[in-house]
Chain A
């Protein structure tokens, strides 16, 4: 059975609305993209949508109680929520440096979680994470 899938391209600010006709996971036709980038995006977004996940993890002994992190590469969109849940159990110790690997393989994606800033250790007494 054919069905129609609508995808808004985000490659540039124009934001073309692209309509895909699909059957059994195969793209039959694709309409509405102004350029080749849009066609590529729609194909990828239909087959395997991926996202970079930005979030935070707990830190002990730092100038702040949390440090911002991200996935080093985009991960499948469907795994975003599971990744956040796994990261809620992670705690690192200050000092942290930008690029430090916090988790090597998040949710079996093969993608690492890395710190996105330096977080120095607190000079006087550690700041406790909640």
Chain B
């Protein structure tokens, strides 16, 4: 590993300096997929910088099955899914630096990283792929009133404690938020011997998939209470209980509906936020809805030669889509390094109606002769049934896809043929959602 590093120690200071074709920030599923795809496309000078002591990211603590159904067409647990990609990058001889924290990425692609062995290293990179993932929303982000006792955890922290460190965070828990992580933690807590008093959800419906509602809650008679939230946390040294209230359609607590639940632990599963501090410092522009960078179809940001993929770009519901997307980023960065793509004179802007919450990418700005189609990823605003997602340009419909049921929690993909893009009426694509009857 050390041999491949082109270290030049200057006389002025002892900082290690290196040059590489591709630096990937983050060794979770996105970073691994991007590195693998870039290598397979012909780039062999790749470095992955990972702050943890091992690769795999959050998958290592997701010991439950449900991963890989799309990509591997078999059902794997998180660690099994991760190990496939860890082995793949190792076989390809990718330079992997663990326990290494990236301090800064500059707009001209100088990457500063630090670890115990090398101290601070300055890497001059031709291309940078940002794959830092996301983190969990905390109690502070929710402003839940009450005291500040021990026993309040994000669901992911509790998951790491139980599955990797073998520590049960409490004996009697209330879970706020019914996204998949919250549901899965209800099952883990129960099976590890804790009582789960309730899962509370402020929305009228669960944020998780049906399968998890059945196998994590109904299997163990754990109640799911929708349109309810915690309005106060009690306890001094340790959580002693919570006040729960019903909420109206505007999520305002309804006076008179308060009741108490005795518990020693509160788990929060209330959303994920892309982790973009490094991106912002590099001058990367963020999207107001996704919280991630605004990118073109190659996953390149507004800063030339800096790409982003995975949950740092937008929060995905399944890891298989993270892999697909990060491979687009890795492949595209490699093809660009090899001068195999042409920049469009005018990018094709992608716009959508209010029925869609967001679409990735934001624009199509290259012509790549090796690319047959471009997937557009999007989320609807509210649940809808029997709809077509349509793609048009200048009033002319180009393609459509049917969705029996479209949910905000499940990403919709629409593929556009590269050939279609060659003869557009105008450099604009419009996405819409229409009911089957109207269509």
Which residues from chain A sit less than 8 Å from chain B, CB to CB?
Answer: 8-10, 13-15, 51-56, 58, 63-66, 68-70, 77, 80-81, 84, 98, 116-118, 129-130
Contact = CB atoms under 8 A, between A and B. Distances in A.
22 contacts: A8-B213, A8-B214, A8-B218, A13-B405, A13-B410, A53-B191, A55-B191, A58-B166, A63-B53, A63-B54, A65-B165, A68-B163, A69-B63, A70-B63, A80-B219, A81-B191, A98-B79, A116-B77, A116-B79, A117-B79, A117-B80, A129-B166
Contacts of A13: 209-210, 405, 407, 410
Nearest to A69: B63
A75 to B, nearest CB: 13
B215 A10 contact: yes
Interface residues on B, range: 20 to 34
Interface of B: 53-54, 60, 63-65, 75, 77-80, 82-83, 162-167, 191-192, 209-211, 213-215, 218-219, 404-405, 407, 410
B404 A54 contact: no
A15 B64 CA distance: 20
A12 B36 CA distance: 30
Given A98-B83, A116-B79, A117-B80, A10 B210 contact: yes
Residue from A9, A54, A70, A118 with most neighbouring chain B CB atoms (10 Å) = A54
A116 B215 contact: no
A8 to B, nearest CB: 5
A40 B376 CA distance: 34
Given A10-B210, A13-B210, A68 B215 contact: no
A5 to B, nearest CB: 12
Contact of A14 (B192, B215, B404): B404
Which 5 A-B residue pairings sit nearest by Cβ, starting from the closest? A15-B210, A117-B79, A68-B63, A10-B211, A54-B64
Contacts, number: 74
A130 B405 contact: no
B79 A10 contact: no
A14 B386 CA distance: 11
A52 B65 contact: yes
A81 to B, nearest CB: 7
A64 B164 contact: yes
Given A10-B214, A13-B410, A68-B63, A98 B80 contact: yes
Contact of B210 (A8, A77, A130): A8
Contacts of A14: 404-405
A129 B163 CA distance: 12
Contacts of B163: 56, 66, 68
Contact of A66 (B53, B78, B165): B165
A54 B59 CA distance: 14
A36 to B, nearest CB: 15
Nearest to B87: A118
Nearest to A6: B218
Nearest to A58: B166
Contact of B164 (A15, A66, A84): A66
Nearest to B77: A116
Nearest to B385: A14
B166 to A, nearest CB: 4
A72 to B, nearest CB: 12
A130 B83 contact: no
Contacts of B78: 68
A50 to B, nearest CB: 11
B63 A116 contact: yes
A15 B214 CA distance: 10
Contacts of A129: 166
Contacts of B80: 98, 116-117
A84 B77 contact: no
Contacts of A9: 210
B79 A130 contact: no
B219 A77 contact: yes
Nearest to B162: A56
Contacts of A66: 163-166
A124 B256 CA distance: 59
A77 B211 CA distance: 14
Nearest to A56: B163
B166 A51 contact: no
Contacts of A98: 79-80, 83
Contacts of B164: 64, 66
Contacts of A10: 210-211, 214-215
Contact of B82 (A80, A81, A117): A117
Contacts of B167: 130
Contacts of A65: 165-166
Contacts of B82: 117
Contact of A56 (B63, B75, B405): B63
Contacts of A8: 210, 213-214, 218
